Chain A
Amino acid sequence: MTPIIAFRGVGKRFPGVVALDHVSFDLRQGECHAICGENGAGKSTLMKLLSGVITEHEGEILIRGEPAAFRGTRDAEAAGIAIIHQELNLVEQLSAAANIYLGREQRTPLGLLDDAAMEREAAALLAELECPIDPRTLAGTLRVGDQQLLEIAKALSLSSDVLIMDEPTSALTESEVARLDRVIARLRHRGVTILYISHKMDEVFRLADRITVLRDGRHVKTVDRTATSPREVTGWMVGRELADHGFHGVRSRGPQVLEVRRLTLPWPGHPRGYRLEDISLTLHAGEILGVAGLMGAGRTELLETIFGAAEPTWTGEIVVDGRPVRFMHPAEACAAGIAMVPEDRKRLGIFPDLDVAANVSLCGLRDAVRGGLVSRDREEALVAGPIRETGVKTSGPHAAITGLSGGNQQKCIIGRWLLAKPRILLLDDPTRGIDVGAKAELYQLIDRLCREGMAVILTSSELPELLSLADRIIVLADGRLTAEFSRAEATEQRILEAATGG
């Protein structure tokens, strides 16, 4: 039988990163096929290709045996492929029925909107999905689980026969998850092929017929569920060789500088109710504490809460140098000797309109002031230090920051913070989207700063990075601390098991 979708040597490169590399596997008509992989394994890129969000790629995608050349999401829709994104795509101000038929509105013979017909059909679709909502309800007032079913209803109304679900349970309550399971069973009964993306082993093994594992953009294996075990799949997800950067020399651990006790950060309006719950940790001068966890586990929230950048609604205690603190603004954290390099370099880190010098000098600009005015000579002298120390490759301090590579931009942001002379450095996934060479340089920089006595908390989506850099590793899963390992105890397998609850 011809596979409904076949990937043949599919590849995708972004500047500096190979997101997908010669991926080949088939989807069979009517199966539920799970795609597993760590963050950055290439799952999302693959789905974006299949749903027409990304149109340029290497290799071929065959749909029912025919090569597909999508020019956009509409082509994918026309081919019967629908995607339910993690972030839902609804117009919150329109009714449920209007959302289902957006862009394909039904009309009366007079050319006016035929709301009655659309609501009738929407109600039938929603009833089939066990979604007991009035089709006239505004989409924005629905619960996340119902919004998701609304998207599925939309896909059904398009008579899609391939449905991609990207981590559909990440924001659902337990009863909503059970309902989704029943909906998936019913969809399969109708002959819909489901591509289920998840890194939660229990879901994958409950729902999937076959499992495909991706790692670092490559296809590792496609197996029948019955022929494998969660442990084996986690092993395939990890299974890469540990890059040895030679940081195993003993670091001298200094006094304790930071302690977090029973930190809880509420999340109003979310079924989980909290972003972080009951987190306790300690950090000493001269050590690197690694924070592992999947996307959405609460890594960024933890750092932002310590740094005073999150809403100050948390409970618990944060103690810096033996003094309890509650920072209301990053400036206060900065004054207490804490620095944070944020996760999303483009959105939260760089100032695209300013040059390299101005990007670096921001945190220490007051030191370049003479007689109330910023002295340009002093500013240049000021930034020369961190630019040299972090090894930024730039044609000069007045080059445009946007002309630098991601790695060099990141070094500029770290350099910016070095000017504030912090004793605690929070690094939120600092090597994301950075090429391999620059990564190694950043590792060396972080290692050196730590040996000079800085206390570092490092989060990362890449386990090898944590394993080679960190002295200790804590693991977050769904906002809770699920494990803590010393360097000797930690393995990728154990960390991933703690992070996936598998």
Chain B
Amino acid sequence: MNPSVIPGRGWRLPRHELALLVATVAVFVITGWLDPNHTYVTNWAESSEIILRNTALLGIIALGAAVVIIAGGIDLSAGSMVAASATTCALILMICSEPGDKRLVTVGPLGIATAIGGAMASGLLVGTLHTWLITSIRLPPFIATLATLVGLRSFARAMCLFVTKERWGSESQQINVNTPFFSWLKEHNVVITTGTFLVLAILTWLILSRTVLGRHLYALGGNEQAARLSGVRTDNVKWFAYCFGSLTSALAGIFLMADSSVAQPGTLARGYELNAIAAAVVGGCSLQGGVGTVPGTVLGALFLRLVIDAVSKLIKASADVYEGMIVGIIVALAVTLTQVGRFSRTGRTLFAGGRGLAAIPTIATFAGLLAMMSSGNVEAFQGRTGLVGTAVGMAVLAALAVVRWLEGRRTP
């Protein structure tokens, strides 16, 4: 089964983590080699800073997502929680600054502490709300956190409009934060966010693998009824899981606000929840619950960010356009790869029946179009993008047809 659930038996990395580590190194080496500017070598400091900072921000939220997923739940609200936390932080800063100060430079240490404390407290409150909805009202976690995903961002925007109007007399969709402390945070963001991420990862790892609470989280996710019948207070364990999920988002919210020097609840961290869940899943967490590790999640986040960075380097496209496709493909591939063994054992085939046949041209078309679009940014292929696309599409079509033919021969 999965011996990696109780990590740290010796320091041997379990298979999934090892595979991810190898894949991460491979992507790094291949990108460094193929990249015409060899950025990873010539400008390693800046490259690593970008990757580290992005990994840390994604990773902080992914750790929260992983804990909730291991406990057998799901938290869809992370992105909105980030926005709500950033807004809470900025609004408290605003209230603590002098009335006419629209850049929030006049906040004292006490105000800053209150603002950070308030942002974290908002995470605790939302986590508690989730637990209440799930354990008392018996909403499925998907529905409860879907409600806050939609509701919380809107709530943050309304709060922003209301408080700015009350305080400044004019409504504003965003609040600029130029408070010296947060500017300092922004200046040292690589060290501070990466450091925070590492400390949080170690803390989470300790909780999950070395405390009674951690064991109860795995037990809850693995078999909730059995955990309850063994005397585990499952509702309390759920409360910890959902609060931890919201608190990591709240923490990421503070860093993101500092990074952009502005709290903009309408757009901040939109869709982050799905990337965080994807990182946890790529890292080996099972959405069935009860399975997953911190090292896996950390590597999952690193791997996702690295591939996103690699693609933007290789095809010189804007990373955020391709980000969704990359995450989607990697999640599908990662989970498929863990199931290939099961496929061969049970004799199931990848392209069975008419639907399997229909999937082949679909995949080939996608591959061809993707190749055409991405080759547009590569000098060698300029003007021949249609040719590249057609060739790749045909090649994929032929390869999959061979796979299906082989499968058809194996199963009479």
Seen from chain A, the residues whose Cβ lies within 8 Å of a Cβ on chain B are 307, 309, 329-331, 333-335, 340, 342, 347-355, 357-358, 361-363, 365-366, 369, 372-374, 376, 398, 400-403, 416, 420
Contact = CB atoms under 8 A, between A and B. Distances in A.
26 contacts: A307-B229, A309-B228, A329-B231, A330-B228, A330-B230, A330-B231, A331-B233, A335-B231, A350-B223, A351-B219, A352-B290, A353-B221, A353-B291, A354-B6, A354-B219, A355-B1, A358-B218, A361-B215, A363-B230, A365-B215, A372-B211, A374-B214, A398-B3, A398-B6, A398-B9, A400-B1
A351 B8 CA distance: 19
Contact of A355 (B5, B211, B221): B5
Contact of B232 (A362, A400, A403): A362
Interface of B: 1-3, 5-6, 8-9, 206, 210-212, 214-215, 218-219, 221-223, 225-233, 290-291
Most buried by A among B2, B211, B219, B226: B226
Nearest to B220: A351
Nearest to A401: B1
B1 A374 contact: no
Contacts of B223: 347-348, 350-352
Nearest to A365: B212
A355 B212 contact: no
**Which of B211, B215, B230, B291 is most buried by chain A, counting CB atoms within 10 A of its CB?**
B230
Contacts of A333: 231
A373 B210 contact: yes
A400 B231 contact: no
Nearest to B225: A348
A358 B210 contact: no
Given A351-B219, A352-B223, A362 B230 contact: yes
A351 B222 contact: yes
A353 B2 CA distance: 6
A416 B214 CA distance: 18
Contacts of B222: 351-354
B230 A353 contact: no
A231 B281 CA distance: 61
Given A358-B215, A362-B219, A420 B229 contact: no
B294 to A, nearest CB: 15
A353 B284 CA distance: 13
A333 to B, nearest CB: 8
Given A329-B233, A340-B229, A348-B225, A353 B218 contact: yes
Given A351-B222, A363-B230, A374-B215, 16 more contacts: A309-B229, A331-B231, A351-B219, A351-B223, A352-B1, A352-B223, A353-B1, A353-B5, A353-B221, A358-B5, A361-B215, A362-B227, A362-B232, A369-B212, A374-B210, A402-B1
B37 to A, nearest CB: 45
Contacts of B8: 376
Nearest to A339: B231
B6 A355 contact: yes
5 A-B pairs with the lowest CB-CB distances in the bound complex, closest first:
A334-B231, A400-B1, A353-B290, A331-B231, A373-B210
Given A353-B218, A353-B222, A400-B1, A348 B291 contact: no
Nearest to B288: A353
Tell me whether chain B's interface is mostly helix, strand or loop, or mixed: helix
B226 A354 contact: no
Nearest to B290: A353
Contact of A354 (B5, B211, B232): B5
A325 to B, nearest CB: 15
B223 to A, nearest CB: 5
Contacts of A366: 212
A342 B229 CA distance: 8
A96 B62 CA distance: 47
A369 B210 CA distance: 9
A376 B9 CA distance: 8
Contacts of B291: 353
B230 A347 contact: no
B210 A348 contact: no
Contacts of B2: 353, 400
Contact of B225 (A347, A352, A362, A369): A347
Question: Interface centre among B214, B221, B232, by most A CB within 10 Å?
Answer: B232
A302 to B, nearest CB: 15
Contacts of A362: 215, 219, 227, 230, 232
Contacts of B6: 354-355, 357-358, 398
A80 to B, nearest CB: 29
B218 to A, nearest CB: 6
Given A351-B223, A358-B215, A400 B228 contact: no
A400 B206 CA distance: 22
Nearest to A340: B229
A464 to B, nearest CB: 27
Contact of A330 (B210, B212, B215, B229): B229
Contacts of A352: 1, 222-223, 290
Given A351-B226, A354-B222, A374 B212 contact: yes
B231 A420 contact: yes
A462 B222 CA distance: 31
A440 B208 CA distance: 38
Contact of B231 (A342, A361, A363, A398): A363
Nearest to A372: B211
Contacts of B290: 351-354
Nearest to B206: A373
Contacts of A402: 1
Given A351-B290, A354-B6, A355-B3, A373 B211 contact: yes
A355 B1 CA distance: 9
Contacts of B227: 351, 362
Contacts of B228: 309, 329-330
Q: Which of A350, A351, A353, A400 has the most CB of B within 10 A?
A: A353
Nearest to A357: B6
B218 A351 contact: yes
A334 B233 CA distance: 11
A353 B222 CA distance: 6
Contacts of A334: 231
A283 to B, nearest CB: 20
Contacts of A373: 206, 210-211
Nearest to B230: A362
Nearest to A332: B231
B3 A349 contact: no
B283 to A, nearest CB: 16
B136 to A, nearest CB: 14
B389 to A, nearest CB: 39
Contacts of A398: 3, 6, 9
A278 to B, nearest CB: 26
Contacts of B219: 351, 354, 362
